[in-house]
């Protein structure tokens, strides 16, 4: 049984945690539409109010936060005391976008709302490469009888370039990079699979097909959906697992190493912090909590 420490509670669907050097953790409260910083003494500070649906977060090369805003793709639904991302409500939706958020002032700037004439529907998660470019997933929207086919994107922080690198994908969610920066990983929520692609240049991958079994790192059996992910120092993909609430750890060769249960069916994300990167911060979105635990292996140091 894993021992968890409650870092913060009474959060409104926390997601996108980022551990900062001062011991604080910044995350989004998706249903409250804000970015919140949890200080080492457990006090909360609102960094910025965010219209739409704040989702994945990452620190960029300039020290600012970069945000995947899903536009308000999900309504709030509570069942048996657990909060779930509910059905799409067009009255709440403002359109997807990638945003820059100044960590000190809270100033929010839209960087991208479209790519090649196509609107961003529901950007979800984000990771930076060594060159300072950002890879992000476009989760899309499910509404009525419509289920978007979407993709994986690459963009620069100055607003000068956005490119759809992989298409089509089905509800891509968490995204991460291997320790050498040569493999891109992402999880597809409803397929319960983690895919991989070889990076061959800045914002470029080898020709990808989801039908090629070599591109599927792992798939989970039964009713297990996948959310966001982080990579540890051994190159294992640690992916938040929905329904079977917890973190599933997958080796670079595709072996399921372990599943660490959290007790929340809507466990959505993990990041690593502490001086030795052995502290895992996990968002229990259904219960509205941020918890921590000592991880079996150090996390991978992020590029920024």
- Cα-only R_g, the chain: 17
- Would you state the pLDDT for residue 208? 93
- Would you state the pLDDT for residue 159? 95
8 Å CB contact between 160 and 150: no
- Would you state the pLDDT for residue 273? 98
SS3 state of residue 215? helix
- Would you state the pLDDT for residue 206? 97
Q: Alpha-carbon distance 278 to 282, whole Å?
A: 13
- Would you state the pLDDT for residue 82? 96
- Would you state the pLDDT for residue 123? 98
- Would you state the pLDDT for residue 124? 98
- How many Cβ atoms sit within 10 Å of the Cβ of residue 198? 15
Both ends of the chain: CA-CA distance in Å? Answer: 33
Q: Alpha-carbon distance 37 to 59, whole Å?
A: 13
**To which H or E segment does residue 53 belong?**
none
Q: Alpha-carbon distance 290 to 280, whole Å?
A: 10
CATH (residue range 5-294): 2.120.10.30
- Would you state the pLDDT for residue 105? 97
Domain spans of the chain, in order of start: 5-294
Q: Alpha-carbon distance 290 to 287, whole Å?
A: 9
Phi, psi torsion values for 30, nearest 5 degrees: -60, -40
Residues 6+ apart with CB under 8 A from 183: 177, 196, 197, 198, 199, 252
8 Å CB contact between 26 and 47: yes
- Listed as ranges, residues in the chain with pLDDT below 50 are none
- Would you state the pLDDT for residue 150? 97
CA dist list (Å): 20 to 8, 23, 37, 103, 273:
16, 6, 10, 11, 7
Tens digits of residue pLDDT in 154-168: 999 999 999 999 999
């Amino acid at each position: 049984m894993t021992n968890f420490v409650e870092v913060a509670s009474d959060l409104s669907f926390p997601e996108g945690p980022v551990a900062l050097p001062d011991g604080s953790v910044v995350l989004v409260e998706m249903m409250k539409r804000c970015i919140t910083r949890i200080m080492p003494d457990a006090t909360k500070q609102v960094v910025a109010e965010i219209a739409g649906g704040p989702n994945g977060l990452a620190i960029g090369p300039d020290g600012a936060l970069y945000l995947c805003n899903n536009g308000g793709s999900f309504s709030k639904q509570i069942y048996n005391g657990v909060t779930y991302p509910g059905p799409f409500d067009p009255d709440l939706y403002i359109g997807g976008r990638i945003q820059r958020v100044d960590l000190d002032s809270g100033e929010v700037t839209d960087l991208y709302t479209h790519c090649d004439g196509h609107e961003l529907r529901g950007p979800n998660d984000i990771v930076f490469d060594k060159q300072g470019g950002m890879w992000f997933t476009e989760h899309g929207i499910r509404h009525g009888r419509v289920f978007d086919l979407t993709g994986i994107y690459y963009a620069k922080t100055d607003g000068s370039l956005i490119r759809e690198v992989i298409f089509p994908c089905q509800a891509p969610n968490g995204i991460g990079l291997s320790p050498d920066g040569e493999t891109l990983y992402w999880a597809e929520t409803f397929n319960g699979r983690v895919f991989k692609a070889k990076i061959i240049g800045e914002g470029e991958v080898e020709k990808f097909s989801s039908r090629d079994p070599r591109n599927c790192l792992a798939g989970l059996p039964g009713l297990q959906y996948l959310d966001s992910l982080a990579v540890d120092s051994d190159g294992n993909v640690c992916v938040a697992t929905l329904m079977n609430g917890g973190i599933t750890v997958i080796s670079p060769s595709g072996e399921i190493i372990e599943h660490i249960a959290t007790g929340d069916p809507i466990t959505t994300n993990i990041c690593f912090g502490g001086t030795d990167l052995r502290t895992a911060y996990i968002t229990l979105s259904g219960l509205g909590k941020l918890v921590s635990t000592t991880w079996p292996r150090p996390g991978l140091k992020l590029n920024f």
